[in-house]
Structure 1
Amino acid sequence: MKVSIILASYDSGHYHGGMGQGPDALISGGLVEALTMAGHDVAVEDIGRVGEAQEREIATGFAVCNAVAAEVRLARDSGRFPIVLAGNCLTSAGAVAGEGADAIIWADQHGDLNTPETSIYGFLDGMALATVLGLCWRPMAAAISGFQPIDPSRCVLVNARDLDPAEKQLLKTLPIVRTECPGVAQATERLKAAGAKRVHMHLDLDVHDPEDLQANRYVSQGGPSPEQLRGAACAMALAVPVVGITVSAYDPAFDAQGDVPPLVGELLNDLIATIEGR
């Protein structure tokens, strides 16, 4: 398969800070080589610095989304499958816009469903999925070229276990499909029933059980092993048409042994093979 890896090296508005170091660390950890050895034609594109010189979280976060949307659209127009490596989860709004996605699979230990009205800490990335679903930051999201909010009934939330009270309450009122990794077959059936035609798959690496893989400082016990997530992701990709992938939230400072990049290579190779053979 022709693959475009798109680097968005930002964390909370800071270029190459914290989890913004993750995209480069995945590349230097052998991701391109792993995909190439599996027979894929891999191109790497880097959005570089975006926005103003002054790094402001909100303005920069949405500028990153705009830059990613443009790169993803170029990849799709060139017949390449887009894989975005991002520091922050909000970046998926740009990928969704560039792909024209109408559904989303969101694997994350967090719900990312806060809004400015409900957020305890005001953390923009904690509002990432809410933004994709059109629940907040609507004018900013609408300014991303091609962005259309995804209907909550076309959203599958995988292994979210660290939820704020307002997120728990919101999940009682929205038709978001929640699942653990062993239950993804039923979840994707509901996604198909909702009419999903173009699915974006968002994989926040902190969805994993930190006993098996710790991707960043945000630690919550439980979650799938790398093997369980890989199996679930492939099962979902076999059931519904995945048009792009985002891998986010890897901070190499919490991976002293360099365990994460090879596991991401295995995950993406299996996913690409599944999508290609579908």
Structure 2
Amino acid sequence: MKLSIILAPYDSGRRDHGFGKGPEALISGGLVETLTMEGHDVAVEEIGSIKGLDDREIATGFAVCKAVAEKVSAARKADRFPVVLAGNCLTACGSVAGEEADSIIWFDQHADINTPETSAHGFLDGMALATALGLCWRPMAYTIHDFRPIEPAKSMLVGARDLDPEEKVVLGSLPVIRAEMTDAAEKVAELKAKDVKRTHMHIDLDVHDPDELQVNRYAQSGGPTPVQVRDAATCMARSAPIVGLTLTAYDPAFDAKSEVPPVVGHLLVDFLAAMEQA
């Protein structure tokens, strides 16, 4: 398969800081070599420095989304499958726009469905899925070329276990499909029944149980193993019309033994093989 790996090394408006170091660490950990050995044609691009915003989280976050949307769109035109390695989950909104996706599968320990009205912390990345669904930050989101919000009924939240009280209320009011690793096949069939055509898959790596794979400081126990995440993602890749992938939230400072890059490599190899078999 022809792949475009797009690096977006930003965390909360800052480049190469915290989670923003994750994309390069995955590349340095042998991701390109792993994929090349499996016969994939891999091109790597990086989002350059966002100038003139003085590390303002919101403005920079959406500027990164705009840059990602452009590169994802270019990858599609070159018949390349886009894989975005990002620091922040908000970056998925750029992928959704560039892919012209009409549906989304969101693997995450968190729901990321807070809004400015519900968030007690004001953390922009905790509003990432809400932004993709058009629940908040709409004027900013519409500055992303070709951005169209995903209908909540055409979204699936997988593996979420750490939800704020207000997020539970929001989710209870929306037709978002909730799933665990064990019912992936059943739930993706429910998504497909919505007549979806172009599905973006987002995997926040902290969906993993930190006792099995420590990816950052926020991960809490009770999540799935790498094998369970990989099996669920590949199951979905065999049946859903996946048009792009984001992988986020890896902080190499919390991975002293560099265990995450090979796990991500294995995940991508199996995921892409499943897509090719579909």
In which range does the TM-score fall when normalised by the shorter chain? over 0.9
Within a 5 Å distance, the mapping from 1:205-220 to structure 2 comes to 205-220=205-220
Within a 5 Å distance, the mapping from 1:31-50 to structure 2 comes to 31-50=31-50
Give the aligned CA root-mean-square deviation in angstroms.
Answer: 0.7
Within a 5 Å distance, the mapping from 1:20-169 to structure 2 comes to 20-169=20-169
AA aligned opposite 2:157: L
Identity, % of aligned positions: 63
Gaps of 5+ in 1: none
CA shift digits 1:229-263 (9 cap, x unpaired): 00000001111110000000000000000000000
AA aligned opposite 1:79: D
Equivalents in 2 of 1:64, 1:254: separation in Å?
24
Q: In the alignment, is the contact (CA less than 8 A) between 1:31 and 1:262 conserved in 2?
A: yes
Q: CA deviation at 1:22?
A: 0.1
- Residue 217 of structure 2 aligns to a residue whose secondary structure is coil
Equivalents in 1 of 2:167, 2:33: separation in Å?
40
Show structure 1 runs of 4+ deviating over 3 A: none
Match of 1:197 in 2: 197
Equivalents in 2 of 1:230, 1:211: separation in Å?
17
Q: In the alignment, is the contact (CA less than 8 A) between 2:90 and 2:128 conserved in 1?
A: yes
CA shift digits 1:95-138 (9 cap, x unpaired): 00000000000000000000001101000000000000000000
TM-score (norm 2): 0.99
Q: In the alignment, is the contact (CA less than 8 A) between 1:51 and 1:59 conserved in 2?
A: no
Count of aligned pairs between the two proteins: 278
TM-score (norm 1): 0.99
- Residue 113 of structure 1 aligns to a residue whose secondary structure is coil
Q: In the alignment, is the contact (CA less than 8 A) between 1:102 and 1:150 conserved in 2?
A: yes
Q: CA deviation at 1:53?
A: 4.9
Gaps of 5+ in 2: none
Equivalents in 1 of 2:90, 2:176: separation in Å?
18
AA aligned opposite 1:14: R
Q: CA deviation at 1:52?
A: 1.8
